[in-house]
Amino acid sequence: MLRLSKLTDYAVVVLVRLSGGAAVQTSPGIAGATGIPEPTVAKVLKALAAGGLVTSQRGAHGGYRLSRPLATIPIAEVIAAIDGPIALTACVDGSPTSCEVLGLCPVRGRWDPVNTAIREALTAITLADMQEAAIPRAFRVPLPEQAPAAPVDVSSVPLAE
């Protein structure tokens, strides 16, 4: 369904949560604040740390901390960290395992422009954009100085559907 995993959704929630509050936060702490099951939060944080989006501090009084401000993190990076590289089909041109119907497949490698278009759309939107007006006033904490994060102008093409 072209839907990304729920983990990625959680990742966005976690990252946004991580931007507010204390500098370093623990998995249970974030879980409690977001309502996401604790093990799942830990798993997400783990993947995020592997992707370099958050830095971890082990040991007592450890936890996680944002590596970069939200405005510099495009959605594409979050998706890549959680769900792996963005590729709609298995037939990406660099794939080692070519499809078995290679000789006949008429659209071999033709998904590339689609992949590229999607990747660009995802790269143009940062987490700060999603945070904009997302957090109700009650949850809104005074962030130091979150850049306005260049407004995304993808509305030039009329939406047929």
29 or 69, CB closer to DNA?
Answer: 29
Site for DNA in 19-48 (CB under 7 A): 26-28, 37-40, 42-43, 45-46
109 binds DNA (CB under 7 A): no
Binding site for its own copies (CB under 8 A): 1-6, 8-9, 12-13, 16-17, 33-36, 74-77, 79-80, 83-91, 100-101, 103-111, 113-114, 116-125, 129-131, 134-135, 139, 152, 154-155, 157, 159-161
114 or 147, CB closer to DNA?
Answer: 114
34 or 124, CB closer to DNA?
Answer: 34
- Taking the complex as a whole, the smallest distance from the CB of residue 60 to its own copies amounts, in Å, to 27
Neighbours of 38 (CB within 10 A): 14
Q: Among its own copies, DNA, none, what binds residue 113 when CB lies within 5 to 8 Å by partner kind?
A: its own copies
Residue 66 pairs in a beta bridge with 54
Residue 74 pairs in a beta bridge with 126
Residue 126 pairs in a beta bridge with 74
Q: Is 112 exposed, middle or buried (0-12, 13-18, 19+ CB in 10 A)?
A: middle
- Taking the complex as a whole, the smallest distance from the CB of residue 91 to its own copies amounts, in Å, to 7
Q: Which spans of this chain sit near DNA (rule: CB under 7 A)?
A: 1, 5-7, 10, 26-28, 37-40, 42-43, 45-46, 49-50, 56-64, 83
